[in-house]
Amino acid sequence: MGKPAADEIILSYNDVVLRRSDLEILSGPYYLNDRIIEFYFSLLSSSHPSQDILLVSPSIAFWITNCPDVDDLKSFLEPLKLSDKNLVIFPVNNNDDVSLAEGGSHWSLLAYYRSADVFVHHDSNHQMNRRHAMKLYKSVVGYISGSSSDGNKYLECIGTPQQVNGYDCGLYVTATARTICSWYGSGESKNDKDLWFSAVKGQVTPLVVSELRKEILGLIKDLMAKK
């Protein structure tokens, strides 16, 4: 049986397909799903069209984290050309069930910055996803930096802004990703020894996050109107 009309496809943007239910998620105080985060990452990629930046979709990040076969993982990662990127941003989800594509209850963000050869984990809920972020780090570090997975290149950003409710974690991920991309594109990265930390702390606020939910909804509706 097909999807009911109530959850019809409303927009195809690049490789992302959005459905009617995604509008409902953005209209209310709900946890963001994979599709909305992938859509916003695709928008960011279009806004920052640098060959140095890669924003990894939630489904790909999940597969990297949970791929059971080293050879399969290697062949899967090759097309991403991770070793050619200076900035790579991964969404992290706490789903432990590989049979459930859109499970989990919390999002966080893991960013790799080649110029400093460091992975930074931003978690808006007291490092709730630390185990999952570390698992992703260990899966990908050998392919992206050439380093071992001993943890020397992994950093928990303890100054990450914290969410004020139980459902905005995905918006903190999107807001943080936007801030990091802007920081990188502005040229501040060349002189900033503290990386993007102060930018994230100053720009990812509860008000900004709340407005970003409305902004994403508006962007989708604008794109729908142009179809």
Q: At CB < 8 A and 24+ separation, what contacts does 136-142 make?
A: 136/61, 136/64, 136/65, 136/90, 136/92, 136/110, 137/110, 139/64, 139/65, 139/67, 139/73, 140/64, 140/77, 140/82, 140/90, 140/112
CA-nearest of 69, 92, 70, 88 to 80 is: 88
What tokens does 70 get?
């080293």
pLDDT > 50? residue 1: no
Residue 227 pLDDT level (bands cut at 50, 70, 90): confident
Predicted confidence (pLDDT) per residue in 16-66, tens digit: 999 999 999 999 899 999 999 999 999 999 998 889 999 999 999 999 999
Give the Å distances, CA to CA, from 27 to 39, 48, 52, 143, 181.
Answer: 16, 27, 34, 39, 26
Burial state string for 14-43 with b = 16 or more CB within 10 A and e = fewer than 16: eebebbebbbebbeeeebbbbbbbbbbbbb
Which pairing describes strands 107-113 and 87-93: parallel, antiparallel, or unpaired?
antiparallel
Give me the pLDDT at residue 212, please: 97
Give me the pLDDT at residue 73, please: 92
Predicted confidence (pLDDT) per residue in 164-218, tens digit: 999 999 999 999 999 999 999 987 666 667 899 999 999 999 999 999 999 999 9
Other residues' Cβ atoms within 10 Å of the Cβ of residue 51: 9
For 183, phi then psi, to 5°, come to -60, -45
Give me the pLDDT at residue 187, please: 77
Report the predicted TM-score, pTM, of the whole model to 2 decimal places.
Answer: 0.92
* In this structure, CATH architecture of domain 5-225: 3-Layer(aba) Sandwich (3.40)
At 57, is the secondary structure helix, strand, or coil?
A: coil
pLDDT > 60? residue 2: no
Predicted confidence (pLDDT) per residue in 139-152, tens digit: 999 999 866 666 67
Quote the distance between the C-alpha of residue 193 and its chain's center.
23
Give me the pLDDT at residue 149, please: 65
Predicted confidence (pLDDT) per residue in 82-135, tens digit: 999 999 999 999 998 766 667 789 999 999 999 999 999 999 999 999 999 999
